Structure 1
Amino acid sequence: MLKWGAILGVIGFLGGFVGPVIFTPEANQGPLLGIFVTGPLGFVLGLIVGFVLSLRAG
Structure 2
Amino acid sequence: MGEVMLKWGAILGIIGFLGGFVGPVIFTPEANQGPLLGIFITGPLGFVLGLIVGFVLRLLPERR
Q: TM-score range by the shorter chain?
A: over 0.9
**Percent identity of equivalent pairs:** 90
What is the match of residue 48 of structure 2? Answer: 44
From 24, 27, 30, the counterpart of 2:31: 27
Normalised TM-score (structure 2) = 0.88
Bigger radius of gyration among the two: 2
Aligned length: 58
Normalised TM-score (structure 1) = 0.97
Structure 2 stretches lacking a partner, 5+ long:
none
Structure 1 stretches lacking a partner, 5+ long:
none
What stretches of structure 1 move > 6 A for 4+ residues in a row? none
CA RMSD of aligned residues (A): 0.9
